[in-house]
Amino acid sequence: QVQLQQWGAGLLKASETLSLTCAVYGGSFSGYYWSWIRQPPGKGLEWIGEINHSGSTNYNPSLKSRVTISGDTSKKQLSLKLTSVTAADTAVYYCARHCSDENCYAFWGQGTTVSVSS
Amino acid sequence: EIVLTQSPATLSLSPGERATLSCRASQSVISYLAWYQQKPGQAPRLLIYDASNRASGIPARFSGSGSGTDFTLTITSLEPDDFAVYYCHQRSNWPTFGQGTRLEIK
- Whether residue B8 is preceded by a cis peptide bond, meaning omega within 30 degrees of 0, is yes
Say if CB A31 and CB A90 are below 8 A apart.
no
CB contact under 8 A, A108 and B44: yes
Kindly list the distances between the CA atom of residue A30 and the CA atoms of A75, A109, B21, B67, in Å, as whole numbers in the listed order. 11, 17, 35, 31
Identify the bridge partners of residue A18 per DSSP, sorted by sequence position.
A82
The per-residue pLDDT for range B58-85, each reduced to its tens digit, is 999 999 999 999 999 999 999 999 999 9
Rounded distance between C-alpha atoms, residue A38 and residue A91, angstroms: 6
- Minimal CA separation from A44 to chain B, in Å: 6
Question: Is residue A79 over pLDDT 80?
Answer: yes
SS3 B25: strand
CB contact under 8 A, B95 and A50: yes
Q: What is the pLDDT of residue A100?
A: 87
Rounded distance between C-alpha atoms, residue B72 and residue B67, angstroms: 9
Nearest residue of A to residue B55 by CA position?
A: A106
